[in-house]
Amino acid sequence: MTDKPLRAGIIGLGVGATHAKGYLRSPHTRLVALCDADTERLTARAAEYDIPTELCFTDYRTMLAKAQLDVVSVCLPNALHAEASIAALEAGAHVLCEKPLATTLEEALAMQRAAEANQRRLMVAYNFRYRADIAWIRQLMLEGKLGKVYNVYAWWRREAGIPPSGWFSQKQLSGGGALIDIGVHVLDMALWLLDFPRVETVSGQVSSHFGKRGMKISSSKLWKPSIDVEAFDVDDGAFGFLRCEGDLTIHLHASWAEQRAPREDVLHLELNGTDGTAMMHVVNYVQDGTVQFYTEVAGQPVAVVPKLRWDGIYGHEALIAESMAALVNNQPAPVEARHGVIGVQVIEALYRSSQTRREVVLE
């Protein structure tokens, strides 16, 4: 354990702004350096976080060479995750990388090897694990309230949610569309709640019905609208079916765009067990009334709808707080590199299944 705050830096200040809040709040870190290619955004964030000009960079390799960092958040377009993370690990920093860990399994494994070779931690920003409703379902699982879970439905579906930033819609930079962007979140929540059962086979189908027509583009405070309809070459909807060990099945659905209720954004997770079913249904990021538990009591079906307390910190702030505490206390990381590798492996296999129109067996 060390009492000295970890020196933290952030590469990419779009979603990286949420990481900054976590580092500024954590008692174990001091945010000391920023990097972004957008000089206007870099200047604005530096003023907001009180970072001196000499510790603001437009090239992350220069930042890694000069800032003497202990931990680095990598918040760049997906295709740059591997290169930047490996560079930070080789510079002696622990890395918290945004999801997905990489765009290919080969890249993800190279990142994991770099962490091991340099004796540094590689962590993944699966912030949706840090919700009060997910925590409640996890406690039900730990107490065995569901019995044997045999089936899971996991989806994230948006009416008009195609990201306005151009790199999301270009496969060369993103690695894919809705499936790799939001599908990886619900996939991780399902696998994590089930303690990462071995996925044996996957079948997938992706489609693109809206983005190429310039439809269903979302508004966002994080990015300036820059979508190029002509360059749009990723999926805006995806379905997946996973067979796991122990006769467990997982149904996955991720869509940026659908003809559904206006402005509706739905996150759904349902775990069917022999003794009970736990369900999370979140519409437009609300907090109240998002979970139910169905079981039998005295031979009759009952529904439990808890009134959850949201009196702590959640999302990226909670993820960073727990991850940094684990670092300074030499405890296991809450989100291991292995979890990110598995996510990339499954997503890559789903894309391959859609392309070949065949079920894919995972190694």
Q: Spell out the residues 6+ positions from residue 105 whose beta carbon is closer than 8 angstroms to its own.
A: 341, 344, 345, 348
Taking only the tens place, the pLDDT of each residue in 79-114 is 999 999 999 999 999 999 999 999 999 999 999 999
Mapped to the 3 state alphabet, what secondary structure does 166-204 carry? HHHHCHHHHCCCHHHHHHHHHHHHHHHHCCCCCEEEEEE
Confidence (pLDDT) at 230: 81
Q: How far is CA 43 from CA 18, 39, 51, 64, in A?
A: 17, 6, 9, 19
Taking only the tens place, the pLDDT of each residue in 50-60 is 999 999 999 99
- Spans of all domains in the chain: 6-126, 131-313+344-361
Confidence (pLDDT) at 225: 58
User: pTM value?
Assistant: 0.95
- Tokens in use for 149? 């879970």
Tell me which residues of the chain have a pLDDT lower than 70: 1-2, 220-226
CATH code, residues 131-313+344-361: 3.30.360.10
Confidence (pLDDT) at 297: 95
CATH architecture of 6-126: 3-Layer(aba) Sandwich (3.40)
